[in-house]
Structure 1
Amino acid sequence: MSMMLMARAMAIKTGNPLRKLVLIKLADNANDSGECWPSYRHIADHCECSRSAVREHVGALIALGLLAKVNRTGSNNGKGNASNVYTLHLDSPVPPKSTPAVQPADRSVSSESTPPVSCSGTRISHSFDPIIDPKAVIDGYNDIFADLLPAAMLDADRHRQISRLSSHMTRKSTGAFLGYFEKFRNIAPDFYFGGEDGSGWRASFDYLMRPETLRKTREGAL
């Protein structure tokens, strides 16, 4: 989280309250260089809106010049798509009259696609405390490793696993976990995905929560 970007995002007029909330959420996830890579689902859950609304507002922010987006694809034998990388450009506030028109559909909330989220899960931090959302970590894992590794569900044990592994991370945030997952997927040999040796063994969420797995991924030593 960059406090400087959060402050700038709060001061910018976007012409729409939900669009501003999406911008603030991106700033909340961004590092000091303005980069972040939250999934549409993660943004939608925290902003209490649909994924389609998030896509529309991200497009509007790009049109305003406040945001740049880079689509990434898996580099390890094409293992799925990586999440988008966003870069915030908040140096100059944009006049409200230049904002694109708001589509009525953007104001709706889909009860099917956005389950209720606890107040602690949707808050926007105004302190220097790191934010790690265990649900978003699990959701990010399931999105990044869809059809590659076994799906994971959040429970008390995995809350503890996430908390313990965070102590081994340089940047303690949800984005750091998602970046770790993406790097593992992109550099891990096929062995970890049911591999070429015919064993059928696959890594899992619990395996990725081991400090030694994080260390090997960080050092490119898998």
Structure 2
Amino acid sequence: MSTVIMSACWPLQGMTATQKAVLISLADNANDEGVCWPSVSNISLRTCLSERAVQGAIKWLCSVGALATSDRTGRSTVYTVTPEAYAPPQELHPRSKCTPADGAG
């Protein structure tokens, strides 16, 4: 377990609870370089999520740069947790300021 990687992951925002749970589970397994290789089944057990939900979260985490994967023939996937590379998706429609109607408030 790397407290360095875990500490870098906790403050990250812009993801669902499922995605965050998978990221934290991977960070908990990672060494100080962010490398770990738990099975999807193991992540599923640790997070109380379905294997399909874990797979979806891993795919999303890779797409936003928080995670990198590499396959090992006949073995589980190697994950590298990269919180410093995380770039959350931007809102499609920026929030606009609302002005109260006359007499509201």
Question: What TM-score do the two structures reach when normalised by structure 2?
Answer: 0.80
Q: 1:88 aligns with which of 81, 89, 93?
A: 81
Higher helix share: 1
State the 1:92 CA deviation: 4.6
In structure 1, how many angstroms separate the alpha carbons of the residues matched to 2:57 and 2:51? 10
- Structure number with larger C-alpha Rg: 1
Alpha carbons 2:65, 2:85 under 8 Å: kept:
no
After TM superposition, the structure 1 = structure 2 runs for residues 118-197 of structure 1, keeping only pairs within 5 Å, are none
Deviations 1:63-117 (A, max 9, x none): 00111100111xxxxxxx100000111115533536xxxxxxxxxxxxxxxxxxx
The one-letter amino acid paired with 2:22 is: V
**What is the CA RMSD across the aligned residues, in angstroms?**
1.4
Question: What TM-score do the two structures reach when normalised by structure 1?
Answer: 0.39
State the 1:58 CA deviation: 0.1
Task: Give me the identity figure in percent.
Answer: 38
Shift in alpha-carbon separation, 1:34–1:2, aligned structure 2, 3 A: same
The one-letter amino acid paired with 1:20 is: K
The one-letter amino acid paired with 1:89 is: T
In structure 1, list runs of 5 or more residues that go unmatched.
74-80, 99-222
The one-letter amino acid paired with 1:82 is: R
Alpha carbons 1:13, 1:94 under 8 Å: kept:
no
In structure 2, list runs of 5 or more residues that go unmatched.
92-105
Higher strand share: 2
The one-letter amino acid paired with 1:4 is: V
SS in 1 for 2:83: coil
